[in-house]
Amino acid sequence: MDVAVSLALAGCVERRIWIDSEPAGALVWVNDAQVGRTPVDISFTHEGTYDLRLEKEGFEPLVTPATTDGPVW
């Protein structure tokens, strides 16, 4: 399963993490909290490293870190 994680700043108000996979439809957990199925984007408050886990029937589970950067200012 291939995974794409995109970290974006949407202005200065809300920061988002976009998580996608090939094939789509993998169940996603961020820090052990289920957040939906790929493709999914979630907001985050604090920069740092998040633990991602993706699972899809017929595929090995994927566990990987995602690191967000602090504000550019």
User: Residue 35 to residues 18, 59, 73: CA-CA distances in angstroms?
Assistant: 11, 19, 29
Angle (nearest 5°) at CA 8 between 65 and 2: 45
CA distance 52 to 36: 12
Choice among 1-5, 15-19, 41-45 with the minimum mean pLDDT: 1-5
Across the range 18-47, mean pLDDT stands at 93
**pLDDT > 70 fraction of the chain, expressed in percent and rounded:** 77
Choice among 5-9, 22-26, 58-62 with the minimum mean pLDDT: 5-9
With a threshold of 0.85, does the pTM exceed it? no
The answer to whether the Cα torsion of 13, 19, 20, 26 is positive or negative is negative
